[in-house]
Structure 1
Amino acid sequence: MAGGKEAKNALKQIFAMEGYWRYLAPFAVYLFIGSIVSLALPGLEEYHIYISYTLRTVVVGVLLWKLRHRFTELADKQLLFDPTALVTGVLVFLVWIGLEGRYPLFTSSEVHFNPTDFEGTVTVFLIFTRFIGSVLVAPVIEELVMRSFLIRYIISPKWEEVPIGKYTFESFAVITLIFGFSHYRWLPGVITAAALNLLLYRKKNIVPCITAHAMANLLLFVYVVATGSWFYY
């Protein structure tokens, strides 16, 4: 009976997105929607990356908007345009383009998000979708999960009692590696993670990390569109 009650409470938390589920539920969608699309649409492999990215952007974006009042760490908007965060974002962007082709990759990918494979309205729509996903959705969900929830959970299961920006070597190292190696371009990913961690420790606030992340992604988006370097995506 006790086990059944615990399971019922857990399901209730998931559907209500209470506790850490307000982070993990949207992030699960963010991570696994591509696999769901692949299973649901066999025979349309060449379109999977576009369908899954569009769905990920829309669904996760809507979830974040609906849950926005529960993310109290986002309440301080004064640091949204923090100069240190903006400079960090510029430096991260320079790392990404500066290291390209200068380090080994552990895997290879022949599938890229390239809207120019299409024509007219579809191309414009996909470029717009990529902008929204890269600049507005990804920085928010990734920073909330990595540098608000997980980095504190590593310090203590009672993560809500851990102040945002509290430093421990273990949490710094784990988040740096997880974030870094979750990216195909792992070396810029590792450097980015370390830089955003340091920004978090300096500001004791998650908002500048989102700003820096968004700035880096915005500059990369502009670079990709301007130069046609769609292999980044």
Structure 2
Amino acid sequence: MALPLSPEARARILPFAAFMLVLALRGQLPEEGLVAGLPVATVSGLLYGVQAGLAALLLAWAWRHYSELRGPAARMAARDWGLAVGVGLAVFGLWIGLDEPWMRLGEPSAGFRARDAAGELQWGLIALRWAGAALVVPLMEELFWRGYLMRWIERADFLQVEARTVGARAVLLSTGVFTLAHTEWLAAVLAGLAYALLYRQTGKLWTAVAAHAVTNGVLGLWVIRQGAWQYW
């Protein structure tokens, strides 16, 4: 019989699980037409707001459980910020550069639709999408993928695992599962390894969160400027 999850494990799993559940609901929307009297693009954008908002609320509710994000040991020095920004920008470059068809596995289950039925850009929904991707997703995902799963693979009592001691097996396995959640498989492999190794090197989860935020934030600005909505 499986043991019940600890409060600390639930605190790292629930925001991610809620986000993925709403993502699955978005994936069921039709390509075109109306849903509840609204254009599909608008409904999809609003559901993304629910996705990010629900994850943010759960993160706030569980904040007291995130010991790796609090205290003097979690504070980032100038060197940590430099590493995080550098890794984040490098991953951004990989994400837009590794775009050959063989580097993708299918299409996103719930792609972002930036234009309404009349072809007009929905700036409110675009801003919501960017904020969710740059601010909520990095914190939610790093707490789950690296803060929880990677350390749990190393040892079930994951809170007792110091990031600097995590072995190659845990890094590779957690990165492999991380990759399954993305269509851009090659970029996801490299991104997952980069964030995991950054966390292991510095021992601070905030460095992985910051790097992930830089990647997503810059990618979002690039998507908006280039109109390359397929990357969202």
**TM-score, structure 2 as length reference:** 0.84
Query: Are the aligned partners of 1:37 and 1:51 in contact in 2 as well (CA < 8 Å)?
Result: no
Q: 2:61 aligns with which of 53, 66, 91?
A: 66
1:19 aligns with 2:8: yes
Structure 1 stretch 99-108 or stretch 158-167: which is displaced more? 99-108
Q: Shift of residue 108 of structure 1?
A: 3.0
Matches within 5 A, 1:37-52: 44=35, 46-47=40-41, 49-52=44-47
Whole-Å separation in 2 of the counterparts to 1:126 and 1:70:
31
Identity, % of aligned pairs? 24
Q: Provide the alpha-carbon RMSD of the alignment.
A: 3.0
Q: Where does structure 2 lack aligned partners over 5 or more consecutive residues?
A: none
Query: Are the aligned partners of 1:50 and 1:113 in contact in 2 as well (CA < 8 Å)?
Result: yes
Query: Are the aligned partners of 1:34 and 1:49 in contact in 2 as well (CA < 8 Å)?
Result: no
Matched positions, count: 221
Whole-Å separation in 1 of the counterparts to 2:137 and 2:198:
18
Q: Shift of residue 78 of structure 1?
A: 2.7
What's the counterpart of residue 76 of structure 2? 78
Structure 1 stretch 57-66 or stretch 28-37: which is displaced more? 28-37
Give the SS at the match of 1:73.
helix
Q: Shift of residue 178 of structure 1?
A: 1.1
Matches within 5 A, 1:90-105: 90-101=89-100, 103-105=102-104
Q: Shift of residue 167 of structure 1?
A: 2.3
Query: Are the aligned partners of 1:93 and 1:219 in contact in 2 as well (CA < 8 Å)?
Result: yes
User: Residue type of the partner of 1:69?
Assistant: R
What's the counterpart of residue 159 of structure 1? 158
What's the counterpart of residue 190 of structure 1? 189
Query: Are the aligned partners of 2:103 and 2:185 in contact in 1 as well (CA < 8 Å)?
Result: no
User: Residue type of the partner of 1:112?
Assistant: G
Query: Are the aligned partners of 2:24 and 2:109 in contact in 1 as well (CA < 8 Å)?
Result: no
Whole-Å separation in 2 of the counterparts to 1:155 and 1:32:
27
Whole-Å separation in 2 of the counterparts to 1:167 and 1:102:
34
Query: Are the aligned partners of 2:8 and 2:66 in contact in 1 as well (CA < 8 Å)?
Result: no
Q: Which string of whole-angstrom CA distances, capped at 9 and with x for unpartnered residues, describes residues 104-149 of structure 1?
A: 4231358631223367998121111111110001000100011111
Give the SS at the match of 2:7.
coil
Whole-Å separation in 2 of the counterparts to 1:120 and 1:72:
46
Q: Shift of residue 69 of structure 1?
A: 2.7
The 3 A distance-change label for structure 1 pair 64 and 167 is same
Q: Where does structure 1 lack aligned partners over 5 or more consecutive residues?
A: none
**TM-score, structure 1 as length reference:** 0.83
Query: Are the aligned partners of 2:29 and 2:44 in contact in 1 as well (CA < 8 Å)?
Result: no
Whole-Å separation in 2 of the counterparts to 1:37 and 1:101:
26
Q: Which string of whole-angstrom CA distances, capped at 9 and with x for unpartnered residues, describes residues 38-73 of structure 1?
A: 7799x7393453233111111111111232232121
Whole-Å separation in 2 of the counterparts to 1:105 and 1:127:
24
1:179 aligns with 2:178: yes
Whole-Å separation in 1 of the counterparts to 2:29 and 2:184:
28
Query: Are the aligned partners of 1:115 and 1:122 in contact in 2 as well (CA < 8 Å)?
Result: yes
Q: Which string of whole-angstrom CA distances, capped at 9 and with x for unpartnered residues, describes residues 9-60 of structure 1?
A: x5xx7xxx8221111111110111233467799x739345323311111111
Query: Are the aligned partners of 1:172 and 1:197 in contact in 2 as well (CA < 8 Å)?
Result: yes
Structure 1 stretch 31-40 or stretch 221-230: which is displaced more? 31-40
